[in-house]
């Protein structure tokens, strides 16, 4: 949990609510105090190769997307060898340090 909370805090510029990260959960809030909170709960189920839901992080365009992917990898994310990309994909699949997949989207892609 601490590794996940650290990664997502740095990725999103969030902080632990009340400075508290438990062994099995954490609530992260925007550092500036505005916006939605993100709750992380420990699960004992295996990471899914094709998860039913995941987070999408939005970038402005392809250059922003590439920079965001590089930044997230520098924080501990890993690229995922994804065999389901369409020819004109507007997303890059990454995994956080715990193996949970998420995407970085190029919002200018049409």
DSSP 41: E
pLDDT for residue 53: 82
For the chain, what is the radius of gyration of the CA atoms?
Answer: 14
User: Could you identify the residue written with the tokens 């959960």?
Assistant: 25
User: Could you identify the residue written with the tokens 């520098």?
Assistant: 74
pTM score > 0.85 for this model?
yes
pLDDT > 70 in the chain, percent:
99
């Amino acid at each position: 949990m601490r590794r996940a909370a650290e990664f997502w805090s740095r990725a999103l510029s969030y902080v632990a609510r009340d400075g508290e990260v438990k062994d099995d959960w954490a609530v992260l809030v925007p550092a500036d105090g505005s916006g939605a909170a993100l709750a992380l709960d420990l699960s004992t189920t295996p990471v899914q190769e094709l998860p039913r839901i995941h987070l999408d992080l939005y970038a402005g365009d392809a250059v922003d997307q590439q920079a965001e992917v590089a930044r997230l990898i520098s924080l501990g994310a890993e690229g995922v060898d994804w065999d389901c990309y369409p020819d004109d994909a507007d997303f890059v699949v990454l995994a956080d340090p715990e193996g949970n997949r998420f995407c970085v989207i190029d919002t200018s892609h049409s």
